[in-house]
Structure 1
């Protein structure tokens, strides 16, 4: 079980959050948001809640949509609440600068190749931050009011503290054996 001490949210596409919480994948590909600062994206937290973001063409940018994906969000400016189903712990991170290694990850995630390539070559340094994460499903959906501070193109947001208690009761999204297999596969590809 994760031992959460802070209530930090990691903003990611809603369907990716679903795939992680449902145990359908265990990695995150990240380039970073516009507001990440001069140093770019960093994995600042070892534990975090999976904060779902939405835009209307999200499903078109995926290789497949997770099972039981029942998300429907209004545009960000019309959101009134946040619904979180999972949390995760950061297990290992790689900064990958070789496209062949990034392309070899395709069976392990839900993004389509065009989106992954676009993120990889987004700025002057072609690379992606690949994170192996252990996802956990909360015992119940955690809902709370949406705040303006959650908006914008940033990766990390501060959430209400009451989520910490829910995280303590979260169960692993996949078995230890299945996670070990995925971790081994990822490490064999990325070194």
Structure 2
């Protein structure tokens, strides 16, 4: 398996996805994204744990203890490969708030992201996550910096040895069904 693109996400959320505790991300985009904000440009990518802007007040209390300082400054340790199983553009705040139990952000954080830049929507991404047997470690380069979602990894395909899925296909299907029930009108 290989991948030459990564998605930046808070370290805490990357770890929760990698161990299978969660399978859902709510995304809006970074401050350096285009005017349209975040789009799902890639269906398969490495998880890029970032420590920038991690905010304990935006994480549900159950996950705050997982916050940590960057253990390897100057290096990025990519823990897993993720594949998009489903993506939904959620354009109702009430619906977006229903997703709080399925992911790590607080309701207030979801609402802030929903309202960000006066564009009322968020993306809900259901992910199939496969931890790497050995994390891919790369030096952090200037091209990786900034508040962007997608990071090309020097245009080089990196061979990855994948472990088993973080959650079984049956569990992922159950999570997808629950998500779709919450999203239905």
With structure 1 as the length reference, what TM-score do the two structures score?
0.86
Contact 1:18 1:66 in 2 (8 A): no
Which residue matches 1:37?
A: 34
RMSD: 2.2
Unpaired runs of 5+ residues, structure 1, are none
Contact 1:62 1:112 in 2 (8 A): yes
User: C-alpha offsets along residues 53-110 of structure 1, whole Å, 9 cap, x if unaligned?
Assistant: 103753332102288x474217xxx931111111100111111111121111111111
Match for residue 43 of structure 2 among 43, 46, 56: 46
- The alignment status of 1:169 with 2:166, answered yes or no, reads no
Match for residue 183 of structure 2 among 174, 184, 190: 190
Structure 1 window deviating more from structure 2 (99-108 vs 48-57): it is 48-57
Which residue matches 1:102?
A: 96
C-alpha displacement of 1:176: 1.1
Secondary structure at 1:177's aligned position in 2? helix
With structure 2 as the length reference, what TM-score do the two structures score?
0.89
Q: Find the aligned partners of 1:124 and 1:66 in 2 and give their Cα distance.
A: 28
C-alpha displacement of 1:124: 1.9
Match for residue 65 of structure 1 among 63, 66, 72: 63
Secondary structure at 2:38's aligned position in 1? coil
Q: Find the aligned partners of 1:176 and 1:121 in 2 and give their Cα distance.
A: 33
Structure 1 window deviating more from structure 2 (168-177 vs 85-94): it is 168-177
Match for residue 131 of structure 1 among 122, 125, 129: 125
Which residue matches 1:24?
A: 21
Match for residue 174 of structure 2 among 142, 163, 181: 181
